Structure 1
């Protein structure tokens, strides 16, 4: 039995006037790109083709409604909406949301529909010409040793206080592992500890283990490992993270067991019994995946174990988008790229002596984690303002968190815990 979705009739929000955008902070949001009439016409046709057959509603100010029923997208400024999409594609789609030119009462629901049909949104002829119309990744965002520091700083050095507003008390910025859904925010710290413990158990971290952590975050994994009697060397490129992580280590009385260093993974020295790296490979860039995995191999002692947590995307979509510039790269993670499971397996096989021994996927848990972060970020909007971030930033981060949650809810994105092993010396 199917359920009919009535066409939307109410006009809530249709006449809302977006707040002015600070052109100094947000030049590409404040200025609608100049687009010729043919460009806007083609963009409108692509939008009709992409959205008209989907299980959602798209409503325009003149009363036109596209779609087959479901979550509502309210387009407030069609000219600007089509001009942005026609000139910068999905970057323009995100910037149009930041500018307030479209909205959605259920943003995650609408984006989940789009993520579920990501491979089909652009017509096949345009897909084949992707290299001609898609924006290329800026050379300045390559993850060289210098570029990686700049890229990481742009996200993780925004403000420790900002992250503390929506993360839980563990300050863990990666997928948790829950016992069941839906979860309350009060359960998030335990779910983050469950995730960390699984990784430490995979790497067989215990009393006396020499552990290298690549990607410190704000120090929770290092603290939990040290409590097991481990000696931890943790590397980060974020000064804000390093400073707070060191403070937390001192306050926990574990400074004799944990060293937090401002250091690129390529500069790491020594050998370790175990290595843990949580959602750091996403910031490495495809060009440097072989270097990253060779570093794991070189730093790991014979018989050692690597526990790796990684967000993954479908292999065909990774290949299609790996050289193009995306909204998430422009505004959230410059230089970042999600690998596919196939890419991880191939890189490990061709560039290291490591073996992928185990892989566990738990994407639904990331969707739940993101829901809790997003709800808390929304609830604490005034505190975000008090930190000096404006309404465009709030829309940017609301879109980022909803966009990410939708990726996991649709199955377009997944998250994996890997165990990589190294043969002992004979």
Structure 2
């Protein structure tokens, strides 16, 4: 498994594959295992040629511009119908990585500097909008033979899930504080917006339309904290948290939601598997004066005990793994009193894409969230109806708001890159984090993925 960079390592060293006029990221095998190795051999050459053909054919119908640098055997070439620009500095490496490792290779080629895009999110959003059809339909039937399956050690068993969580959330509290707003909310904000109502296969729901545009075409950084306030308070409102409410929070974050629930007079048990999050959450709870109302525990959700009036969980289900969604919902069910409510904010994907990709090992799994996978609203509704007494009611989707949240995080992170480096992270980490934030933003901007606040009520049996 490729781990986060070892902060004790020496300064970045140049790699043989680095372009002489580009700053080469540190691709030393000790810090980023395997990233300095470009696939070679007959199989890699054949896969590279096929990847080039598929990529070239796809670009003929996409509103992007891709500039391929000249190689020893090919002249420079410009592809696409015009739009956000990507420059491929090392085409042979680019296609070798994609041919051998698909979208993982595509992301790794960015980490090594084989390609660049000034408007990375804009470029990726065009690709995300066509994701289901980038590969020709006949070849998609061979998907199971080509794509890598998630490694067994990424499966979120009770023995392994803490390590998967630590991979991301124990990176550094200081690093997260550099780009998050003062609430330390690492989830989508809800900006000021109009709402529409609709009905789909799951039932009625509301949609928060694109955020109100500012002078620069989108929300400004000053709008982010109020957006997080609005998101958190709404979730507390729709679940009825108030004086005397007993609350279980699955996934503490850095304690903001628990603090707000306590401020309303609730008593809160909030759980996490990140020791770094637990430490800072406890400090923030104490500073807010609610240590007598909030208990921050280091425990797996499957091991929780007691009964509660409300269960809250913000963007934690994505880390559960599809094999355990039923267990997650059953845990909520047994933790709630009859008539109790569960408020979950969840990143979701369309049901058909979820079914098609649930056994796929992705770049995000490898570098960011081991064992993670996005559910569909439909599968959560079906599992809760079939295996629990929970019934889905209120639903608000707000994917475009996540796109703006991620844009502001990325801009803030980029502006504090020197402080990130001072914490011991390297240039490759900077590229990785930028790609992660913009890759995610593209998915929301293209409506390929969504984020929902979902409210279940536990049925009262007579």
Whether 2:408 is the aligned partner of 1:372: answer yes
Structure 1 counterpart of 2:35, from 29, 37, 41: 29
**Offset at residue 382 of structure 1 (A):** 0.5
* Residue 168, structure 1, aligned to residue 181, structure 2: yes
1:97 aligns with 2:110: yes
The total of aligned residue pairs comes to: 414
Partner of 1:126: 139
1:7 aligned residue: none
If each structure's helix is expressed as a fraction of its own residues, which one has the higher value? Answer: 1
For 2:33 and 2:41, locate their aligned partners in 1 and report how far apart those are by CA, in whole Å.
17
Per-residue CA deviations over 1:154-194 (Å, capped at 9, x if unaligned) read 00000000100100111000001111332221221221111
1:60 to 45, 54, 68: 68
Q: Does residue 53 of structure 2 align to residue 45 of structure 1?
A: yes
Rounded Cα–Cα distance in structure 2 between residues aligned with 1:82 and 1:318: 27
Gaps of 5+ in 2: 1-18, 71-75, 193-211
Secondary structure (helix, strand or coil) at the match of 1:177 reads coil
Q: Of residues 11, 16, 32 in structure 1, which corresponds to 2:22?
A: 16
**Could you tell me the TM-score, scaled by structure 1's length?**
0.95
TM-score (norm. length: structure 2): 0.88
Contact kept in structure 1, 2:26 and 2:428, CA below 8 Å: no
**Cα distance, 1:42–1:190 mapped onto 2, change above 3 Å:** same
Query: What is the aligned partner in structure 1 of residue 199 from structure 2?
Result: none
Following superposition, the deviation at residue 51 of structure 1 comes to 2.1
Unaligned runs of 5+ in 1: 1-12
Aligned position for 2:128: 115
How far off is 1:17 after superposition?
A: 5.4
Specify the alignment match of 2:162 in structure 1. Answer: 149
1:86-134 per-residue CA deviation (whole Å, 9 max, x = no partner) reads 1100000000000000000110110000000000111212210111011
* Matching residue within 142, 149, 153 for 1:136: 149
Instruction: Give, in whole Å, the separation in 2 of the partners of 1:266 and 1:41.
Output: 47
Whether the aligned pair in 2 keeps the contact of 1:168 and 1:189 (CA below 8 Å) is yes
Render the CA deviation track for 1:224-263: whole Å, top value 9, x for unaligned: 0000000000010000000000011111111000000001
**Structure 1's 269 and 275: CA in aligned 2 closer, same or farther, altered over 3 A?**
same
2:159 aligns to what SS in structure 1?
Answer: helix
Q: 1:132 is paired with a residue of what secondary structure?
A: helix
Q: Secondary structure at the match of 2:252?
A: coil
Cα displacement (A) at 1:29: 1.7
Change (3 A) 1:35 1:114: farther
Cα drift, residue 18 of structure 1: 2.8
SS at match of 2:35: helix
The whole-number CA distance in structure 1 between the counterparts of 2:227 and 2:41 is 48
Contact in 1 for aligned 2:26/2:426 (Cα 8 Å): no
CA distance in 1, matches of 2:37, 2:237: 51
